[in-house]
Amino acid sequence: QPQLPPQPPSPPSLLPPAAAAGAVASLGRVCATRSASLLLLASTVRSFCGYAVGAWSVPFFRQCHPEHASQFALANGAFIAIGGTVSTIAGGWLSDRLVQRRPGRQLTAHRGLLVPVAGSLLCIPLWLGALQSRAFAPALGCLLLAYLAGECWFGPFTSALQGALPQDVWGSAQGLVNALQIVSNGSPLLIGALMRRGVPLRSMLTVLIPTSHAVSAALFLAASRARREEERRAAR
């Protein structure tokens, strides 16, 4: 009787079953915390907007202000390096001031999220000014102010996310933040696909950027309220 050929070995698993179950459980604990889930959504929307700005703001200004292309290249680089850095540091500092605990008072960590709420709301008229202005100088001024107002979210976001979760899932939470960047990276592709269908770049950015800031402001505010309720329950 002919012998059957031996079965090929099973492909090695990327994670042992116990480790995979532990990873899934950690991610479940992150998503089960309401404020953390809202923060993850807010950061995804905010990054979705940021990738669109990073990829398409330069082509937009070259298209709409071609006579100032070299000036814009220098100014935009300085705005990103200086304005973005100042906004990030100032946002973290202001968030720390808002959440400082006073003796005998309840924890106020949720108040730090008011910084990205305010920054996102300020960005709506500023980006409308940058995108709709037909004159170069006002558009550039609005762009600088938009960078100063808009990049203040990262410090309060990170602080609030860690504060809402136990330390043993901080790594899982950060991994989830990075994984969601894949979704955020879709904004430049979406804009490019719509441009191929004939949608004007100015119209798309005028809708996408302010809308993203409005949605992220609403999500940061909802996360702040959820965090406040979590603080109240923890204080009982």
What's this model's pTM, rounded to 2 decimal places? 0.87
Spell out the residues 6+ positions from residue 124 whose beta carbon is closer than 8 angstroms to its own: 210, 213, 214
pLDDT in tens, the chain (236 residues): 455 666 666 555 555 666 667 778 888 889 999 999 999 999 999 999 999 999 999 999 999 999 999 999 999 999 999 999 999 999 999 999 998 765 555 567 789 999 999 999 999 999 999 999 999 999 999 999 999 999 999 999 999 999 999 999 998 899 999 999 998 999 999 999 999 999 999 999 999 999 999 999 999 999 999 999 998 888 77
Helices 114-132, 84-99: axis angle to 10 degrees equals 150
